[in-house]
Structure 1
Amino acid sequence: MWKSYLLMISVLVVSGCASSDNQQAEFDKSLYSGKPIEALTNDEPPKTEEEAISRGDAALTNNNVDLALYEYLRSMTFADAKHKDKTLYTVGRIHLAKNDYQLADRAFRAALEQNPNHTGSLEELGKLNTKQGRSDIGESYYLRAINADQLRLGGTPNMKSNNINSENVQNLLFDDNSPIHAYIGLGVLLDIEGQHQLAQTLLNRALDIKTFDVNALISIGYSYYMSEDYERARYYTNLALKQKPNDEKAINNLALIAIAHGEPRQALSIFNRHMTEPEALNSVGYFLILKGEPDEAIPYLQQAINKSPAYYAKANENLERALEMIRKERDTSKVTL
């Protein structure tokens, strides 16, 4: 009888362990934000990770973002969950769409805990940190994304901040799934540092990955503008506008290129595409000031003031700045004489 009792206890212990292994983890509320969970659904809980993900996909398709977020997070409570890195990446993208950058950052970093080489999360962390002024951290994530991609493609993941050069970039392996945003982001950071040729090499590689990517076209156009290659700058910016005719950044860049090329009237016409006439006139005047041509700026600023009393303050401030620059130039020339 005693042996039977011991056997029963051991069976209970074993069965208890087995049921514990099958238990789901607790729902992680730290990555959820939205409507109260109780108000989201009355459906039976999902039985598998795949079912929860499928529910999340359906909710996202129906633009029910909070329910999608809830279902995706529920998919990670299963002990045998295999897609946590991809799910956390999707969760991060949802938080980005909701402009919740803190939770997005947390989700992407959690994805990297599951898979340190998840290129999408590495790219997004690069963009997030760069956007928030932490360009050194942003650069490190972009480099990690490129290295992770080399590992995927069977290459050598050896890109570091101290060995980025045109030859190394041109030797990188790539395909249609390579992290284009990492190449663009890194190129833009190098452009800001004044390394225009290297930036253009990276941005050209981004265009190898996706020929008509608007962000890559705008970025390389601006890079050529920065390096005073205005013909190429205009060419790539116009290509971007063919893909996305109303892109304000591309329109503004095209106007800047026209001003740099000595064509302020053309710049005015370009600005007029998405600005009122007084705003366009003020913008041309402002950029002529930045170009060091205050005398050319004055007529545009005066017209802006005349056409819109409501716009007077801003244009008048720029006019005063232009006049002050001219006065200083005259004083300097008198001293030289």
Structure 2
Amino acid sequence: MKRISLLLAMTAVLSGCQTMGPEPELNTRSVYSGDNSLLYQVRKQASSADQAMQMAEMAYQAGDLDQSLYQYLRAIELEPKRYEALVGVGRIHRERGNTQLAEMAFGEVLTNQPDNLDALAEMGMLRLAQRDHKGAQDLLFKAVELDQRRLGSDKGSPHDVAALKVDSKSPLKVYNALGVLADLNNDFPLSEAYYRLAMLIEPRSVLVQNSLGYSYYMAGQWPDAERTYQRGISYDASYKPLWRNYGLLLARMGRYEEALSAFEQISNRAQASNDVGYVCLLEGKLDDAEQFFRSAIEQSPAHYDMAWENLKRVQQVRRIRQMGGNPNSVAAIPPSAPAVQ
């Protein structure tokens, strides 16, 4: 696909298009035309690729992904071989779940720069999200090998974590993602070893604290998980995935009021009550589950369809029990997937 088609496709997603038809034969100027369009404003603001990259990174850190994406596209327009900008474009699409566009961006970078560490890391995380564990491992291992080569380590191998070296320039996301991959394979000692490496790269990374806490949670080491989540919160209390995992842990431990408070950091009281109720339901604590679902409904009676559906599940499980059926008819609790962003 031509680069202009890639830009057009990405712009279409930003415009709210859920499906894309045949790609129009438009030039770059026509895409950016119009004084009232954000693209046109960006074109007037960023006069160099370096300036566009700086603005893109600032917007990304501020959570303004639309502005960040436009700025990355502006950098590519000004400097077509600015592959770090294309990695940024792919990262945003990966985080938004636009898999095809993310793959397109990372694929183009790796076609031109097969050893681009950032692109390897991002494509590896994309494969991990797609549950392609072998594909993810191959990409992430290649990134580790490149990092070890940069550090001048001839002994460092992804298969021998104890021999790996890292520094502040090492790709945090790569080592964190390898920890997540080990967790998915129930190899908790290996995952912890990768997370320890990641913490050497960035000691106060909330991403790594969340992943390590999740690992302890999956391994049944709940006190360790709690301490790790609390440490992560002390680093950055705005990180939503951590609060959700912390809430799940507290609910599993039967500390419902604390779980409600944790969930309320990322949602309203009705949603928090529903989440705690769902944990109770999955653990077979039907009376507690019913109490939390009814509380959620009372707080949002007109709009909280999910709580009604979950309350029906409680009643179904009760009927099954009364009929002598399988009381474990509800699936085991699915822990929140570890974040790899």
| Paired residues of 2:320 and 2:326 also in contact (CA < 8 A) | no
Question: Counterpart in 1 of 2:208?
Answer: 216
* CA 102–280 in structure 1, closer or farther in 2 if over 3 Å, else same: closer
Give the greater-gyration-radius structure (CA): 1
Deviations 1:198-251 (A, max 9, x none): 212211211111101111111111111111211111111122222221222111
* CA 94–307 in structure 1, closer or farther in 2 if over 3 Å, else same: closer
Pairing of 1:9-48 with structure 2 (within 5 A): 29=4, 32-33=7-8, 36-38=27-29
| Paired residues of 1:278 and 1:308 also in contact (CA < 8 A) | yes
Structure 1 position 203 matched with structure 2 position 195:
yes
* CA 124–312 in structure 1, closer or farther in 2 if over 3 Å, else same: closer
Question: Counterpart in 2 of 1:57?
Answer: 50
Residues in 2 aligned to 1:145 and 1:209: alpha-carbon distance in whole angstroms:
15
| Paired residues of 1:190 and 1:196 also in contact (CA < 8 A) | yes
Residues in 2 aligned to 1:129 and 1:240: alpha-carbon distance in whole angstroms:
26
How many percent of aligned residue pairs carry the same amino acid? 27
* CA 237–131 in structure 1, closer or farther in 2 if over 3 Å, else same: same
Residues in 1 aligned to 2:168 and 2:50: alpha-carbon distance in whole angstroms:
24
**Structure 1 residue 323: Cα displacement:** 2.9
Structure 1 position 135 matched with structure 2 position 133:
yes
Pairing of 1:301-320 with structure 2 (within 5 A): 301-320=293-312
Residues in 2 aligned to 1:190 and 1:266: alpha-carbon distance in whole angstroms:
30
**Structure 1 residue 322: Cα displacement:** 2.1
Pairing of 1:290-305 with structure 2 (within 5 A): 290-305=282-297
Residues in 2 aligned to 1:109 and 1:333: alpha-carbon distance in whole angstroms:
51
Structure 1 position 90 matched with structure 2 position 85:
yes
Q: Normalized against structure 1, the TM-score is what?
A: 0.73
Pairing of 1:267-306 with structure 2 (within 5 A): 267-306=259-298
**Structure 1 residue 113: Cα displacement:** 4.1
Residues in 2 aligned to 1:232 and 1:260: alpha-carbon distance in whole angstroms:
14
Deviations 1:118-150 (A, max 9, x none): 221110111122223433212211111111111
Deviations 1:270-289 (A, max 9, x none): 22233222221111101111
Match of 2:74 among 51, 67, 92: 67
* CA 147–190 in structure 1, closer or farther in 2 if over 3 Å, else same: same
| Paired residues of 1:56 and 1:68 also in contact (CA < 8 A) | yes
**Residue segments in structure 2 that go unaligned for 5+ positions in a row:** 12-25, 34-46, 57-69, 328-341
Residues in 2 aligned to 1:229 and 1:204: alpha-carbon distance in whole angstroms:
17
Residues in 1 aligned to 2:83 and 2:100: alpha-carbon distance in whole angstroms:
14
| Paired residues of 2:148 and 2:154 also in contact (CA < 8 A) | yes
* CA 113–305 in structure 1, closer or farther in 2 if over 3 Å, else same: closer
Q: Return 125-134 or 212-221, whichever deviates more.
A: 125-134
Structure 1 position 321 matched with structure 2 position 313:
yes
Structure 1 position 177 matched with structure 2 position 165:
no
Residues in 1 aligned to 2:155 and 2:123: alpha-carbon distance in whole angstroms:
19
What SS does the aligned partner of 2:186 have?
Answer: coil
**Structure 1 residue 256: Cα displacement:** 1.0
Match of 1:121 among 114, 119, 122: 119
Residues in 1 aligned to 2:184 and 2:276: alpha-carbon distance in whole angstroms:
23
| Paired residues of 2:89 and 2:105 also in contact (CA < 8 A) | no
Q: Normalized against structure 2, the TM-score is what?
A: 0.72
Give the letter aligned to residue 234 of structure 2: K
Give the letter aligned to residue 178 of structure 2: L
Q: Which has the higher contact order (CA 8 A, sep 6+)?
A: 2
